[in-house]
Amino acid sequence: MDCGPRFAKGWALKLAVDTEQMYQMNYLKTAILLAGITALFVGIGFMLGGPVGMLIALGIAVAMNAFAYWNSDRMMLSMYGATEVDARSAPGLYGTVE
């Protein structure tokens, strides 16, 4: 039975490259999602109000996307009732993360 290393010689470098590609793909997926939401808002605005409705919908979509982009982390943490812990309140968790 072979008990040798399971990874090729440059596994740490490959892991770093894969992680970087994952981050790039996440940014791309986020940009596509925000662009799709904006296009949907602008299209509905145009159907409801013509060119003026389209501009109003564009303004609303930009404001909503900016809010969601910069505040989504806080919204998600508050939805789950997350609280900050210190070494006294959760020593096991704090030691794991530290």
Q: Is the pLDDT of residue 85 over 60?
A: yes
Q: Tell me, rounded to whole angstroms, the distance of Cα 34 from its chain centroid.
A: 11
Each residue of 25-67: pLDDT tens digit? 888 998 898 899 899 999 999 999 999 999 999 999 999 988 9
Query: Over 90: is that where the pLDDT of 83 sits?
Result: no
pLDDT in tens, 1-35: 455 555 555 555 565 667 778 888 888 998 898 89
d(CA 11, CA 9): 6
DSSP 40-63: HHHHHHHHHHHHHHHHHHHHHHHH
Pick the range with the lowest mean pLDDT from 11-15, 58-62, 75-79, 83-87. Answer: 11-15
